[in-house]
Structure 1
């Protein structure tokens, strides 16, 4: 830190120069986040001083957080449930697994080797979580359509099982597990069923209303105990804004830590100091857009996804799987070098470490037909140049 301060105009110029090097959204086809809604940005700025870790001071902000949780519970068909806003999917998933483990302990079911049944494509956040909590994953291979098979889940449940994880919108492939089949297979087994809907939570409800054939994933499915949902992804809220939601009205209270101070409520999240701006921004976006607004955005995202998939097929490419959500995975020999070549030209896409020779392309609000029209020729140029041995130089 400098001894003397820097004038504000100089600080602004230096920061602006660094931010100018960020890739513009119109060249990003790998992100399940997007440019947040302007109203959310505005309201986040107005609440940038707030801290949900001290609700004796920030009383109105706390009420807004409770309203956001209620809106999210309504979205997932459980107005009588409970939950909390968190930093994102990783924290939400961690809290769900903590609750599952401690619930098993309270019932006398926690063995020396607690296990969690997961798919072979479960999100990598769980690798961190299992290590932290001492949980052993029981990995079930996905089927040919990349889904977690309900019958195999039921067969893998033993006296050691404390939880099953289903994914309602894989961030890697955009596929949705058949939660409506997994739920009944788990129900009655005294095992916590958690649904990771960080990616699909703000897509599936509206896509189903539009007539897309997607499995139901929410609390209307018998057996579902908790759901992760991320407003900072397809919910258009600024980062960080996630949520962990539970079936029962008191279930969120199973994860609680007291403070040192009289009259300071227990914390129900991992973070102590929490940005109230996230709650305020999320509330603003949800209230402003409503179901109609999100349905319209979802309709456009699916139209662009179809436009992108059609363009790839017309160019002779084969998709790894038919996209259920707004993620297109295309088979691509030399995928890593093609991705690097695209990045050297300013385009950002993804390649899978686990499923090589594929490119992952994500459609979010910033990806329009015009962006697709610019991207597809760039992809073909990159593919030809890589095949010709053109050197890839990354910054």
Structure 2
């Protein structure tokens, strides 16, 4: 830290210089997050001073958080449930697994080796979570459609099982597990079914309204006990804005830690200090757009995705799987090198460490058909460049 501070103008200029090195959204094709809605940005700025860790001071902010939770529960078919806003999918999934473990303990079902049944494509946040909570994953291979097979899930449940995790929109492929088959298959097994809908939670409800053939994944499915949903992804809210939602009205309180101070409520989230701006941003966007607004955005996202797929196929590319959501995975030799070259040219895409020789392209609100049409010739140039490199080896 400097002895004497800099003039505000110098600080602004220095920050502007660094921010100028960030990749502009119109060159980003790998991110499930996007440029937040302008109203959300405006309202988050107005609430930049708020802290949901001290609700004796920020009373109105807390009321808005409760309104957001109610709106999200309503969206997911369970207005009588409970939940909290959190930092994102990782924290939400962590709380869900802790509640599942402690619920098993309360029912006398917690053994010395608690297990969680997951798919082979489950999000990597669960690797962190299982290590922290002492849970053992029971990994079920996905089927040919890259989905978690319901019959195999039921077969893997045993005396140590405390939870099953289904995914409503995998981060690598955008694949939606058949939660509407998994839930009924678990009836009578007395385990916690958690749905990680961090990616698909703000896509699937609106896509189904548009007639898209996608599995139902929400609390209307028998057996679903908790759901992760991320407003800061397709919900267009400022980062960080996640949510963990529960079936029961009291379930969110199963994760509770008291404070040192009189009249300060218990904490039901992992974080103590929490930005109220995230709640304000989320509330502003939900109220402003409503179902009609989100449905219109979802329609556009799918139109752009279909344009991308059509252009890729016209160029002779093969997809790794038929896209269910707005993630397109293309089979491609030397995908990592192509991705690196594209990044050096200013375009950001993804390649998977686990599923090599594929290029992953994500469509969200900032991705347009014009942007796709600008990108695809660059992709072909990168492929040709890498092919030349390989030929010269």
Same fold (TM over 0.5): yes
Q: Does 1:313 align with 2:313?
A: yes
CA displacement at 1:362 relative to structure 2: 0.1
Question: Residue 324 of structure 1 aligns with which residue?
Answer: 324
Deviation for aligned residue 1:177: 0.1
Cα separation, 2, equivalents of 1:163 and 1:317: 39
Q: Give me the whole-angstrom Cα distance separating, in 2, the residues matched to 1:271 and 1:390.
A: 49
Please give the alpha-carbon distance, in whole angstroms, between the structure 1 residues aligned to 2:28 and 2:202.
Answer: 20
Write out per-residue CA displacement over residues 98-148 of structure 1, whole angstroms, 9 at most, x where no aligned residue: 000000111111111100000000000000000000000000000011000
Partner of 2:192: 192
Q: Measure, in 1, the Cα distance between the counterparts of 2:157 and 2:330.
A: 34
1:11 aligns with 2:11: yes
TM-score (normalizing by structure 1): 0.98
1:269 aligns with 2:269: yes
1:135-181 deviation line (CA, Å, top 9, x unaligned):
00000000011000000000000010000000000111011000000
Residue 386 in structure 1 maps to residue 386 in structure 2? yes
Shift of 1:186: 1.1
For residue 172 of structure 2, what is the aligned residue in structure 1? 172
Instruction: Provide the rounded CA distance (Å) in 2 between the counterparts of 1:12 and 1:238.
Output: 21
The separation in 2 between residues aligned to 1:188 and 1:262, in whole angstroms, is 42
Superposed displacement of residue 8, structure 1 = 0.2
Q: Secondary structure at the residue paired with 2:60?
A: helix
Number of residue pairs the alignment of both structures matches: 391
Q: Report the secondary structure of 2:361's partner residue.
A: strand
Corresponding residue of 2:355: 355
> Which residue is equivalent to 1:44?
44
Structure 2: which 5+ residue stretches go unaligned?
none
Q: Deviations over 1:78-116 (max 9, x none)?
A: 000000000000000000000000001111111111000
SS in 1 for 2:330: strand
Q: Secondary structure at the match of 1:243?
A: strand
Q: Cα distance, 1:390 vs. partner?
A: 8.0
| 1:268-287 matches, cutoff 5 A | 268-287=268-287
Aligned to 1:128: 128
Distance 2:21 2:340 in 1: 17
CA distance in 1, matches of 2:7, 2:159: 64
The residue aligned with 1:68 is 68
Q: What is the aligned partner in structure 1 of residue 31 from structure 2?
A: 31
**Equivalences for 1:218-229 in 2 at 5 Å?**
218-229=218-229
Structure 1 stretches (4+) deviating beyond 4 angstroms? Answer: none
Q: Could you say what secondary structure the match of 2:23 adopts?
A: coil
SS of equivalent to 1:350: coil
Task: Work out the CA distance in 2 between the residues paired with 1:110 and 1:390.
Answer: 55
Q: RMSD over aligned Cα, in angstroms?
A: 0.8
Q: Which residue of 2 aligns with 1:157?
A: 157
Query: Whole-Å Cα distance in 1 between the matches of residues 80 and 325 of structure 2?
Result: 28
**2:389 partner SS:** coil
Deviations 1:231-269 (A, max 9, x none): 000000000000000000000000000000011000000
CA shift digits 1:56-81 (9 cap, x unpaired): 00000000000000000000000000
Distance 1:341 1:245 in 2: 41
CA distance 1:68–1:301, shift in 2 (3 Å): same
Q: CA deviation at 1:21?
A: 0.5
Q: Gaps spanning 5+ residues in structure 1: where? A: none
